[in-house]
A and B are shown apart, each in its own frame.
Chain A
Amino acid sequence: QVTLRESGPALVKPTQTLTLTCSFSGFSLNTRGMCLNWIRQPPGKALEWLARIDWDDDKYYSTSLRTRLTISKDTSRNQVVLTMTNMDPVDTATYYCARMAYDSSGYYPTYFDYWGQGILVTVSS
């Protein structure tokens, strides 16, 4: 049974750094072809993909947020951490982690099959 759970602060101040943790079970990020993503959704707005980390520790970031994001994994603890620097009120959103698997060729990540429940992060002074 695959489960994911996001944890972190519900409230951060402008200019602070946000650190979110995704704790997961039911699969391993050591498994070839497995990867984990962070996605966010501002209240009443669309989903936005943020970052992905692959089983081989390759990392990919949203072009528009690349300079502010860092993704890392701790496979021994089954956790993935996302940090976002210089938080602003426009970053107020529900942040999700979601699992994804590469296709059978091993070249292309495919679809988000399992999602965490999300964590609402509000940026306010």
Chain B
Amino acid sequence: QSALTQPASVSGSPGQSITISCTGTTSDIGGYNYVSWYQQHPGKVPKLMVYDVSNRPSGVSNRFSGSRSGNTASLTISGLQAEDEADYYCSSYTSTNTLVFGGGTKVTVL
């Protein structure tokens, strides 16, 4: 199972919106509604930000939103804030009943 493809880095100024893409195949992202996104600050444990493509857990800011088009999922952060600077990972269920992560995207707030 190959890792999902994410851009290595994305940057934006405070207040702007940015979008992180996560590209897979019909055997993972495109085939199931089980894409999730995680935020990880340096030295910290990953934190669930979006699940089932577009749902937000309780307590996660509504500035974070998820979507999917075909084999590509996306995480959009609107109203970018300094605290959003972190690494972000997508994950998906796969047709072999396993899980797969993306390579991670470093978000920089300029």
Contacts and interface: CB of A to CB of B under 8 A. Distances in A.
Closest 5 CB pairs of A and B: A111-B36, A111-B51, A46-B104, A49-B99, A47-B101
Q: Is the interface of A mostly helix, strand, loop or mixed?
A: strand
A118 B40 CA distance: 13
Interface residues of A, number: 25
B27 to A, nearest CB: 12
Contacts, number: 70
Interface in B59-110: 89, 91, 93, 96-104
Nearest to A118: B45
Q: Name the interface size band of chain B.
A: 20 to 34
Interface stretch (A12-20, A22-30, A102-110): A102-110
29 contacts: A37-B99, A46-B101, A46-B102, A47-B101, A47-B104, A48-B3, A49-B91, A49-B101, A52-B98, A52-B99, A60-B97, A61-B98, A63-B1, A64-B1, A96-B45, A108-B93, A109-B34, A109-B93, A109-B97, A111-B36, A111-B48, A111-B91, A112-B36, A112-B38, A112-B46, A112-B91, A113-B48, A115-B45, A117-B45
